[in-house]
């Protein structure tokens, strides 16, 4: 993980506005969101899906609901960062023993959830962050 300085840090926005603007830039609401916060993620390496830019946030007013079109929630961004997840290839050998857990957790754990990020990917993450900053701060 590489933290990246940003003009978005500590800025507050309406959740629905951010979701629309960042959605147009290819960001998705990260799967681990909660009603009081989460992150917007942007894949940086296409179909390989190992390199990501993550924009974490907390709700300062209201509750996050990804299913709801309209929301009064206001979010505050934390410090963005680039991250790399290297996923296991092949079959998860422990899957049979975790059959019940598999009904809830169907995805393999990352082989290395905090793998090394090369300078070219850190730069690409910073460039995408600048695009997101420009789009959000002009609105």
57 within some domain = yes
Let me know if residue 98 belongs to a domain. no
For the chain, how many structural domains are there in total? 1
Domain assignment of residue 33, given as a range: 2-86+113-137
Give the CATH number, domain containing residue 119: 3.30.310.100
Are residues 64 and 91 in contact, defined by beta-carbon separation less than 8 angstroms? no
Mean pLDDT on 29-41? 87
Kindly report which listed range (30-44, 110-124, 125-139) carries the lowest average pLDDT score.
Answer: 110-124
Beta bridge partners of 56: 39
Is 68 contained in some domain? Answer: yes
- Exposed, middle or buried by CB within 10 Å (0-12, 13-18, 19+), for 7? middle
Tokens coding 20 = 């629309």
Mean pLDDT of 119-123: 91
Residue 117 inside a domain? The answer is: yes
Q: Distance between CA 91 and CA 86 in Å, rounded?
A: 15
Confirm whether 94 is domain-assigned. Answer: no
Mean predicted lDDT score pLDDT of the chain: 83
Q: What is the pTM of this model?
A: 0.79
Tell me: the pLDDT tens digits for 49-98? 789 999 999 999 998 877 777 889 999 999 999 998 776 555 545 545 44
Residue 104: band (very low, low, confident or very high) from pLDDT cuts 50, 70, 90: very low
Q: Does residue 55 lie in a domain region?
A: yes
Question: For 111-139, what is the mean pLDDT?
Answer: 85
Q: Is residue 81, in this structure, part of any structural domain at all?
A: yes
- Determine the pLDDT at residue 124: 95
Identify whether 71 is part of a domain. Answer: yes
Confidence (pLDDT) at 80 = 98
Q: Helix 119-137 to helix 15-24 angle, to the nearest 10 degrees?
A: 130
């Amino acid at each position: 993980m590489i933290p990246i300085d940003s003009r978005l840090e500590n800025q507050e926005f309406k959740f629905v506005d951010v979701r629309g603007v960042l959605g147009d830039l290819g960001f998705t609401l990260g799967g681990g969101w909660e009603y009081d916060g989460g992150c917007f993620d942007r894949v940086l390496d296409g179909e390989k899906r190992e390199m990501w830019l993550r924009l974490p946030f907390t709700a300062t007013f209201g509750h996050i609901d990804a299913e709801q079109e309209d929301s009064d929630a206001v979010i505050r961004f934390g410090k963005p960062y680039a991250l790399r997840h290297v996923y296991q290839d092949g079959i998860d050998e422990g899957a049979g023993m975790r059959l019940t857990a598999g009904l809830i957790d169907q995805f393999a754990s990352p082989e290395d959830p905090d793998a090394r990020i090369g300078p070219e990917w850190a730069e690409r993450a910073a460039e995408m962050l600048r695009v997101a900053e420009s789009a959000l701060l002009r609105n």
